[in-house]
Amino acid sequence: MLPQPRNSTPTRPVAAKSPSRYVWTFLTTILIACLALALFNYVVNPLNYYPPRLVRPLSYGDQLVKVDLMNRQAAGPDVLVLGSSRTMKLAPADVTALNGMTAFNGGVSSSRPEEWYAMLRHALDDLHWQPREIIVGVDLETLFYHGESNEDLLSSPDLRQHLPADMYRESLWNRAALLISWDQLLLSRKALALNRGARPPAAITFDPDGLLHYVGWEKAVAEGRFQFGVEFNIRDYRRRYDGLDGFDEQRKALFEQMLKLAAARSIRVRLFATTFHPAVLAEMVKLPAFNQVHADAVQYLSAAATRYQGVTFADFTEITSFGGDQDNFFDGVHIRQENGRRQLERLLQQ
């Protein structure tokens, strides 16, 4: 069995006429090509990660948009809403209607504890807002997520300055790597093309008070042709929960720092677990990881509510917990404003 000669590496030697020149040419090619690529992506800056602003970026990222909106507020609101896209339909106008206080929705897509902490620090330390309350919609799995932070968060100088250095250092390296990435090159090309012609309409827009509008979805709802679906959410959230095993200690620490900061400034904190459409929840509860994360997170947040003064917690995972309506969803996890209003009613009663 298996008899063969044991060949070692080169079977025939390479006789270069000038091997040194060959090596230098190889290295110089790499250097020139990398520099050219990096310079192009840096100047075009399609995602607004770098200082040049010569070309309009493809996307600013919610984090950058929200910070921009926060910086433009004439006066700080009484209530600051934080959380992910699942919290972005909590309308500041509804807060005002319910308790007479002004509000700003600082929810941003895929946000995690570091976003909430950095945005609160920016509001308090940089903008000198003096909110009386913060409402935080907690996507429970974010407390267990061990991966890197959102690049949009780390590319915002206003926000990243409030984060631990190790979170930010990694991002510097990542952004340098992105300068010579193929994906970034495609985005740069797209950004240049869009700058030459008419830009397509934005998929989402924000009111000055931070309220999100899904342009296409809301138009479809108004015209009675909205197609509801949850399959994507089921796949997405199965993936998010797959392999989660225990809290991420750094994110947990940032979350607690946020609560401590609020307590030190006498700011009331209303925490709630964000909701799922019943069709998605029915699938999620089949996953042991989901049930474990849910149980651990609810226990932890309930304990935090008793440990810190002025903190309350409500578990809105099921829509029945706040009297929600399963027809008032855009998809399996994103609520419409009517459900947001019901969540606010329930929260502000506490």
Partner 1 sequence: MLFNSFRFLFVFLPVVLGVYWLTPSLTWRKYVSVVASYIFYGVWSPKFALLMLFTTSVDFFTARLIDDTGNVRRRKFWMMVSMISNLGVLGIFKYYNFFAESFNAVAPGLVPLLHVVLPIGISFYTFESMSYTIDVYRGKIPALRHFIDYAHFVTMFPRLVAGPIARYTDMASQLQALPRWLPAETVVEAIHFFALGLAKKILIADYLAAKLVNPLFSAPGGLHFFSGWGAALAYTAQLYFDFSGYSDMAVGLALLLGFRLPRNFFLPYASRSIAEFWRRWHISLSTWLRDYLYIPLGGNRGGAARTQLNLFLTMLLGGLWHGASWTFVIWGAYHGGALLVHRVVSARFRPLPRWLGLAGTFLIVVVGWVMFRMPTLGAALQVYRAMLGLNGLGGAWLMANRYRLAILAASLCLSFTLDTYEFRPAPRLRWAVAYGLVLVACLTQFSAPSPFLYFQF
Q: Which of 55, 58, 127, 180 lies at the binding interface for partner 1 (CB under 8 A)?
A: 180
Which one of 73, 130, 181, 257 is in contact with partner 1 (CB under 8 A)?
181
To the nearest 10°, report the CA torsion of 159, 163, 169, 170. -90
Rounded CA-CA distance 52/284 in Å is 44
Alpha-carbon distance of 150 to 135, in angstroms, equals 21
User: Sign of dihedral through CA atoms 132, 75, 91, 47?
Assistant: negative
Nearest distance from C-beta of residue 302 to partner 1, angstroms: 28
CA 278 to CA 280: how far, in whole Å? 5
* Contact (Cβ atoms closer than 8 angstroms) between residue 333 and residue 309: no
Alpha carbons within 13 angstroms on the beta-carbon side of residue 36 total 6
Q: Which of residues 16 and 303 has its CB atom nearest to partner 1 in the complex? A: 16
Gap between the Cα atoms of 65 and 83, Å rounded:
15
φ and ψ at 234, to 5 degrees?
-60, -45
**Which residues lie below 8 Å from residue 216, measured CB to CB, with a gap of 6+?**
203
Query: Between 177 and 203, whose beta carbon lies closer to partner 1?
Result: 177
- Which residues between 257 and 286 bind partner 1 (CB under 8 A)? none
Closest approach of partner 1 to the CB of residue 135, in Å: 35
Structure tokens at 1: 């069995």
- Output 183 or 325, the one with its CB closest to partner 1: 183
From candidates 68, 125, 148, 183, binder to partner 1 by CB under 8 A: 183
User: In the window 160-179, what residues touch partner 1 (CB under 8 A)?
Assistant: 173-174, 177-178
Q: How far is the CB of 220 from partner 1 (least distance, A)?
A: 27
Site string for partner 1, 3-42 (x = CB under 8 A): xx-xxxxxxxxxxxx-xxxxx-xxxxxx--xx--x-----
For 11, the 3-state DSSP assignment is: coil
Member of 2, 74, 222, 264 binding partner 1 (CB under 8 A) = 2
Q: Which of 55, 58, 101, 185 binds partner 1 (CB under 8 A)?
A: 185
Least gap, CB of 51 to partner 1 (angstroms):
20
130 binds partner 1 (CB under 8 A): no
Q: How far apart are the first and last CA of the chain?
A: 77
Write down the least CB distance from residue 106 to partner 1, Å: 29
Distance CA 282, CA 48 (A): 39
List of residues contacting partner 1 (CB under 8 A)? 1-4, 6-17, 19-23, 25-30, 33-34, 37, 173-174, 177-178, 180-185
